[in-house]
Amino acid sequence: MRRFRRLRASEEMRSLVRETRLSKSELIYPVFAAEGENIKNPVDSMPGIYQWSPDRIGEELDRVAESGIAGVLIFGIPAHKDETASEAYSENGVTQRTVRYIREKYPHLLIIADVCLCEYTSHGHCGVVCGHEIVNDKTLPLLAKMAVSLADAGADIIAPSDMMDGRVAAIREALDGAGHVNTPIMSYSAKFASGYYSPFRDAAQSAPSFGDRRTYQMDPANGREALREIADDIDEGADMVMVKPALAYLDVLRSARDRFDLPIAAYNVSGEYSMVKAAAANGWIDEKRIVLENLTAIKRAGADIIITYHALDAAEWINE
Ligand code: PBG
Ligand code: ZN
């Protein structure tokens, strides 16, 4: 008889034959940097997550630095929003100041800068709006400016999340033109129009004031199209690509892993986090067990890099 149970007899034996292991060095923690002073503002829909002003964000970054994870993904929340997202590319914007601060005080943390206009526009869309249209080609130069200004501030990796066509090429050209030839682009290539982002929109104050994001983010039904989006971003010069959300799109992650050879990131998004936290708070699930199972599933499906709000907790639970 074939006895699979022989290799399951003890934790030592199971560990010996384990196919997938989590490591702190592949985890990235999202951080929200808000304009203002003395702010540590809890995000109600995301227990444990806060908005931080530049004078206090060090409290959170100390924890990140001690945790041993790879780095942070920075989202800025400006005080002033307008039609052209001017704070997104202003030298003294809250995001730029925060990136400079991290670069100076935490030289070993990787800084990934999210590049998108929605936190900075008065209407909350990820691009320039004319009438009710989100205009692709007018958005590209603004994204390119934002990318350059965050690279100037010291970001290690530029991560465009807007889903405009042609943005990777536009950003690559602008970075190169500004002398940032060595700054990689991690593109949110397969980003779906997902209900799982709603807690994030509270955290980042970036909900669209009209309509939704379905004319630029992908239809959740389209797995093959996701592979075309990824292939196109690679052609345009992406150094790493991303699938987002992670858990409801593990099939996309697996197909991408099988087809492409560059590093693939998966974003375990806000709604995925909030559902786990809510169920755990009710005592319905074992939080540690569920988080490690979810992260292992994301890795098993093919992710090299996992962006997750659970990163600091997970780092305490992972011993590698
Ligand atoms: C901004 C952006 C979003 C997320 C990351 N970058 C929200 C959105 O597209 O509406 C979602 C992250 C999360 O839900 O954790 N474009
Ligand atoms: Zn956006």
Judge whether 6 lies within some domain. no
pLDDT of the residue at 319: 76
- Within-domain flag for 4: no
Measured distance between the N- and C-terminal CA atoms of the chain, rounded to whole angstroms: 36
Q: What span, in angstroms and rounded, lies between the C-alpha atoms of 237 and 256?
A: 17
How far is Cα of residue 92 from the mean position of the Cα atoms in its chain? 23
- CA-75 nearest atom, ligand 1: 6
Whole-structure pTM value:
0.98
Radius of gyration for the alpha carbons in the chain, expressed in angstroms and rounded: 19
Residue 314, in any domain of the structure: yes
CATH no. for residue 246? 3.20.20.70
> Does the beta carbon of 197 sit less than 6 angstroms from any atom of ligand 1?
yes
For residue 16, being part of any structural domain is answered with no
List the Cα angle 146/111/47 in 5-degree steps: 100
Domain that holds residue 226: 22-319
Whether 1 maps to a domain, the answer reads no
Closest CA to 64 of 320, 312, 318: 312
* Atom in ligand 1 nearest the alpha carbon of residue 161: 16
| 191 counts as catalytic | yes
pLDDT at 156 (0 to 100):
98
Return the number of other C-beta atoms located less than 10 Å from residue 258's C-beta. 9
pLDDT along the chain (320 residues), means of 10: 98 98 98 98 97 98 98 97 97 98 98 98 97 96 98 98 98 98 98 97 91 97 98 98 98 98 98 98 98 98 98 92
Is 10 part of any domain? no
299 classed as catalytic: no
Q: Number of structural domains, the chain?
A: 1
- Would residue 146 count as lying in a domain? yes
Bridge partners of residue 73, in order along the sequence: 30, 112
Distance, CA of 246 to CA of 269 (rounded, Å)? 7
